[in-house]
Amino acid sequence: MSRPISLPDVDAVIVNRDGGDALFAALRSLEAQVGIGLSVLVVDNASRAEERERLAREARGARIVPFSRNLGFAGAANEGIARTRSAYVLLLNNDAAIAPDYVARLAARLALDERLAGVQGLVLTADEARVDTAGISWTERGEAVPAFAGAPPDALPEDPFEVPGVSATAALYRREALASLAANGQVFDDSFFAYYEDADLSLRLARAGWRFACDPAARARHEGSRTGSRTPFRRALWTARNRWRTLFRNFEPRRIRSSFGALLRADLAHARRLGWKGAALPLLVWPSLPLEALRFRAEAGRLPDWPSAAVEITR
């Protein structure tokens, strides 16, 4: 008879900016976790006074770290990680809610496989009819996309499977892995502000030899883009800029050169979705590309190709 796995405590970090009712649903889902010790920290990115007052009233079990300015997701997540100490740290979006066994299942997966830097569950859309993300995958146009997005949940493998990266929507990370590459204590590149910071982190960890998995038995639901939907052009601008930063940092220059036309077409496709305002997107992003390439020219051990699609883990 196998001995039960001893699971370490987990620190959960939520980055918040005016999350409203969705934030408090996320907090309630953390309070309902079973089978594991869990502490909760909310990093508040200059939310309105009413939200902060509500946090003080209703989130008594959480530690609140307020900031008077918006640090972005990357900067605020760094602040939360730096203020916690447990061996595993959960990042949870302020518009996501997790099943009561979510954290314990993911912690058990990390405990079973020391190669894993991070693991996530199956994150579903708000109505739970479709997959929102089962991890991070990559397209031929050099875009990080949610793995299996839009698929019915029962179309996915029942057993845990490997993915190229995990989405910070609801991911559990091994602190040892994060600490191994944190520059000046910064896990995420805070110059990203928001978007692609989790894709960049996953690639940097993969380059260091770490791996990632999705456990589809752990379930969550995600409203999606609650903060970013308020400023669609800014979201598109940050996404395009940070995608190029991620590419230049993590992939060999010859791979970028060979796909340069496709990479530019991806930007144009996103610009078209913005309507007439999208015409400014390439003008704001493309002139900076030579400087971005120079910024990361000294990076060693870059990847020769986009990561392969998710595959089942061999047990």
Count of CB atoms within 10 A of residue 238's CB? 21
Query: Is residue 312 pLDDT above 60, yes or no?
Result: no
- The rounded distance, in Å, linking the Cα atoms of 134 and 189 is 23
pLDDT band with cut points at 50, 70 and 90 for residue 315: very low
> What's the pLDDT tens digit per position in 124-168?
999 999 999 999 999 999 999 999 999 999 999 999 999 999 999
> What's the pLDDT tens digit per position in 293-309?
999 998 999 999 999 76
- The rounded distance, in Å, linking the Cα atoms of 153 and 204 is 29
The half-sphere exposure of 182 on its side-chain side, counting CA atoms within 13 A, is 17
Best CA proximity match to 139, nearest among 236, 49, 270: 270
Number of alpha helices (DSSP H) and beta strands (DSSP E) in the chain: 11, 13
Residues 222, 96 contacting (CB under 8 angstroms): yes
- The rounded distance, in Å, linking the Cα atoms of 232 and 66 is 25
Distances in Å between the Cα of 31 and the Cα atoms of 25, 57, 75, 225, 272 are: 10, 15, 25, 23, 42
Mean pLDDT of 106-116: 97
Query: What residue ranges define each of the domains in the chain, with the CATH number in brackets?
Result: 10-225 (3.90.550.10), 229-295 (no CATH)
Distances in Å between the Cα of 56 and the Cα atoms of 43, 70, 226 are: 13, 19, 22
Q: How high is the pLDDT of residue 184?
A: 80
What angle in degrees, to the nearest 10, is found between the helix axes of 49-58 and 21-31?
A: 20
Q: What is the mean pLDDT of the chain?
A: 93
Joined tokens for residue 85: 């100490």
Best CA proximity match to 179, nearest among 86, 104, 243: 86
Distant-in-sequence contacts of 188-191, Cβ < 8 A, 24+ apart: 188/73, 188/74, 188/75, 188/77, 188/78, 189/74, 189/245, 190/71, 190/72, 190/74, 190/75, 190/78, 191/74, 191/245
Q: Whose structure tokens read 């200059």?
A: 46
DSSP state of 140: T
Best CA proximity match to 74, nearest among 229, 162, 147, 183: 183
Joined tokens for residue 294: 């120079």
- The rounded distance, in Å, linking the Cα atoms of 240 and 234 is 10
pLDDT band with cut points at 50, 70 and 90 for residue 310: low
> What's the pLDDT tens digit per position in 196-249?
999 999 999 999 999 999 999 999 999 976 555 667 899 999 999 999 999 999
pLDDT band with cut points at 50, 70 and 90 for residue 3: very low
